[in-house]
Copies of this chain bind each other. A is one copy, B any other.
Amino acid sequence: MAERRRKLWGWGYEDQQAPAAEVERAGRAAREHLGFGPAEVERPVCPEDLRLPAPRLEPPASLAAICRSDPYERASHAYGKAYRDLVRAFRGRFDHPPDVVAHPGDERDLEQLLEWCADTGAAAIPFGGGTSVVGGVEPRVPHQAVVTIDLKRLNRVLEVDPVSRAARIQAGATGPELEEQLKRHGLTLRHYPQSFELSTLGGWIATRAGGHFATLHTHIDDFVESVRAITPSGAWESRRLPASGAGPSPDRLLIGSEGILGVITEAWVRVQEPPAFKESAAVLFEGFEQGGAAVRALAQSRLFPSNCRLLDPGEAALTNAAPEGRALLVIGFEGPAPVGGPMARGLDLCRDHGGEPRERRGESEGAWREAFLRAPYLRDTLVAAGILAETFESAVTWDRFETFVREVRERTEAALPGEARVTCRLTHVYPDGAAPYFTVLSPARRRAELEQWDEVKEAASDAIAAAGGTITHHHAVGRDHRPWYDGQRPGAFAAALRAAKAAVDPAGILNPGVLIDP
Among A209, A246, A262, chain B packs the most CB atoms within 10 A around the CB of A246
The closest CB in chain B to the CB of A400 belongs to: B164
Q: Of B243, B488, B504, which contacts A473 at CB under 8 A?
A: B243
On chain B, the residues within 8 Å of A422 by CB distance are none
- A293-306 interface code vs B (CB 8 A; 1 in, 0 out): 00010001111100
Q: How many copies does the complex hold?
A: 2
Is A490 touching B236 in the complex (CB atoms < 8 A)?
yes
Task: Indicate which residue in B241, B250, B254, B488 contacts A246 across the interface (CB closer than 8 Å).
Answer: B488
A492 within 8 A of B: yes
A431 at the interface (CB under 8 A from B): yes
Contact assessment for A210 and B245 in the assembled complex, using a CB-CB cutoff below 8 Å: yes
Say yes or no: A435-B243 contact (C-beta < 8 A), given A236-B490, A399-B161, A497-B500. yes
Could you say which residues of chain B place their CB within 8 Å of the CB of A434? 242
Asked if A430 is an interface residue, CB under 8 A from chain B, the answer is yes
Q: Chain A 256-269 against B: per-residue CB contact (8 Å), 1 yes, 0 no?
A: 11100110000000
Supposing A250-B490, A490-B236, A492-B504 touch, asked if A245 and B258 sit within 8 A by C-beta, the answer is no
* Chain A residues touching B, range: 35 or more
Question: Does residue A113 face the partner (Cβ distance < 8 Å to B)?
Answer: no
CA distance A419 to B105 in the complex (A): 57
Across the interface, A257 reaches (CB within 8 A) one of B161, B248, B428, namely B248
Question: Provided the pairs A233-B495, A399-B161, A499-B499 are in contact, do residues A270 and B488 lie with their beta carbons within 8 angstroms?
Answer: no
With an 8 A cutoff between CB atoms, is A476 at the interface?
yes
Contact B166 A432 (CB under 8 A): yes
Query: A272 near B: Cβ within 8 Å?
Result: yes
CB pair B395–A242 under 8 Å, yes or no, is yes
Q: Which residues of B contact A491 (CB under 8 A)?
A: 234-236
Contact indicator B495/A246 (Cβ below 8 Å): no
A337 located at the interface, meaning its Cβ lies under 8 Å from any Cβ of chain B in the complex: yes
Interface residues of A in 228-243 (CB under 8 A from B): 229, 231, 233-243
CA distance A296 to B165 in the complex (A): 10
The verdict on A164 contacting B398 (CB below 8 Å), with A256-B245, A270-B432, A470-B241 known, is yes
List 6 interface pairs A-B (beta carbons < 8 Å), by A numbering. Answer: A238-B490, A242-B434, A243-B433, A245-B474, A253-B496, A301-B337
